[in-house]
Amino acid sequence: MEKEYLENLFDKPQGNFDIEEPQEGHEQRFLEKLKAIQGVVSIERKKKSWWKTLSIAASVAILCTVGIGLFNSAPTRDEQVAKISPEVSQSQFYFASLIEEQVRELENESTPETQKIIDDTMVQLQRLETDYIKLEQDLLNGGNSKLLLSAMITNFQTRIDLLEDVLNQISTIKILKNQNDANYTI
């Protein structure tokens, strides 16, 4: 019975369904009537805002700029030097590790008696490092590569020699201090 009722319900209005679109301004008239009845403030249609489109465009522009910056980053000075002469890059790694090891040893030997000589040595090492950076820059600027490469290696050797001399002086100071302490025992 229920099934017959549903079939009859949809068979009767055959072709009489409302398929018309509402007239233009229907929504606005409806909202005004609703406002009059309930005292509700009317909702005006949102004006199209260009902010959303503008913000999306700005985001895309920023992402493109960052992406181009990452992919087109300039190589570092060390990478440029290694490109000119791979041997320099290898020798730089070797010498730098030796120098770093000796600097750590030098700092471990620090005592009140040796502090002045260690500080002076660190200043000299910083000057030699600055000179080395200038030599690298000259090499990158297209200077005489053989002469500059020789000067760079000499710079490293000078730093190593300086550290060895200072370590020898510190050991001499320690020996003299121990001898003086041994002579003054009670």
Kindly state whether residue 5 falls inside one of the protein's structural domains: no
The string of pLDDT tens digits covering residues 41-84 is: 545 555 566 778 878 888 888 887 887 777 766 666 666 666 66
Domain tally, the chain: 1
Produce one character per residue of 136-168: b if its CB has 16 or more CB atoms within 10 Å, e if not.
bebbeeeeeeeebbebbbebbeebeebbeebee
Q: Residue 131 corresponds to which amino acid?
A: D
**What percentage of the chain carries pLDDT values higher than 70?**
74
Kindly state whether residue 26 falls inside one of the protein's structural domains: no
Residue 8 pLDDT level (bands cut at 50, 70, 90): confident
Kindly state whether residue 70 falls inside one of the protein's structural domains: no
Kindly state whether residue 52 falls inside one of the protein's structural domains: no
- For 142, the domain range is 77-183
Kindly state whether residue 137 falls inside one of the protein's structural domains: yes
pTM of the predicted protein model: 0.54
pLDDT of res. 42: 47
Q: What is the rounded average pLDDT for all residues in the chain?
A: 79
Kindly state whether residue 62 falls inside one of the protein's structural domains: no
Q: Which residue has the tokens 């000796």?
A: 102
Kindly state whether residue 51 falls inside one of the protein's structural domains: no
Kindly state whether residue 130 falls inside one of the protein's structural domains: yes
